[in-house]
Structure 1
């Protein structure tokens, strides 16, 4: 078995896509709006985890520029190298988010932008539960996905073969609720990435809060 066989498939996919991902999704007004929503709820110097941080832009850059302490985690070394160079005021770690330690209540907020789609439904549910516990009670999470009822289907994303698993919009919101989140708002849109092989895709952004402990 080669070294590549041990790597998460997402690492291979996003190593190949690299900076083209940022260019393709730079025009997402819904992504920018979700960051503005989050910024309006963060105290100065908040600690924020960016799951699947990609090139670091726009998420980590917007948050770091606002003075927040940002940790980005991504499985792709190419993406992590780009992010570290482009957003020097944030910290980045090349790792599988499923395998790193996430102490309870260690972050004020978590961002998860489209980084669950190559995990199984069981893995998505388990990871979301861990991420919720990693946010302090009363803290916020922004979750974004492609809301389709699909499980382990073959697809091509920006020229790269991928296997995709997701939930429909109502099911994804229910998943967030089951993990201990209140969904405060949501935005649905259809976005076409700026890439010659892209097609329009539905996007769902959930604006969430971890409920405070009972009695608080």
Structure 2
């Protein structure tokens, strides 16, 4: 059982989600240290992920500065953006992932750090990517981080945010055979999270995706294509 969505739904309706008690759960660093390249192999070919990168490339000016939150192995996000000539900073809490990404995408910069404590600055980035990087944070932490990321975008900047749109908080799941705890929001609440941070949702994609690994089951994915509108950003600064 790998799918966050099915397991979280089962948890919130009182069903068993694992054959064994998954506790103690793993923090994000330990989880992704273990997964390494297996995560890339399971998720890198997601058509929705690749489509969102094509949208971002079409929107960005040449040599844009992009922040990739939870950059993982560097593929496909950092690799795609760097190949297009953009300046990419990837931040990941897993030293294993950072080592892999540095090796695989030598033209980008990768930093091993907890994004919640990384200084982001104001209007420092043309784009921010957040692909499934929120699921092991509390709801308050997710809201604070999205607000900080929006603040770090330049007026007119773009954000792509992807998550598992399920209403559940701090539940035990098994993800790619690893015990973890996950927290997420239903679709409408994810949109509210983004718009409350000062972003406009230009488009979205809701779909079921099956990771490329034996025994994987479909899981719900939500991709939001967002913009920090220039007039809203100016109002926030003036306010």
Q: TM-score range by the shorter chain?
A: over 0.9
What's the secondary structure of 2:34's corresponding residue? helix
1:191 aligns with 2:209: yes
1:32 aligns with 2:50: yes
Aligned residues of 1:72 and 1:90 also touching (Cα < 8 A): yes
Question: Cα deviations across residues 47-86 of structure 1 (Å, max 9, x unaligned)?
Answer: 0000000000000000000000000000000000000000
What's the secondary structure of 1:103's corresponding residue? coil
Partner of 1:151: 169
After TM superposition, the structure 1 = structure 2 runs for residues 1-216 of structure 1, keeping only pairs within 5 Å, are: 9-212=27-230, 213-214=234-235
TM-score normalised by length of structure 2: 0.85
- Greater relative CO, 1 or 2 (CA 8 Å, sep 6+): 2
Aligned counterparts of 2:127 and 2:101: Cα–Cα separation in 1 = 19
TM-score normalised by length of structure 1: 0.94
Aligned residues of 1:159 and 1:197 also touching (Cα < 8 A): no
Aligned residue pairs total 209
Q: CA deviation at 1:27?
A: 2.4
Aligned residues of 1:157 and 1:198 also touching (Cα < 8 A): no
Higher helix share: 2
Aligned counterparts of 2:149 and 2:206: Cα–Cα separation in 1 = 23
Q: CA deviation at 1:195?
A: 1.8
**Which structure's CA Rg is the greater one?**
2
Question: Cα deviations across residues 70-122 of structure 1 (Å, max 9, x unaligned)?
Answer: 00000000000000000001000000000111110010000000000000000
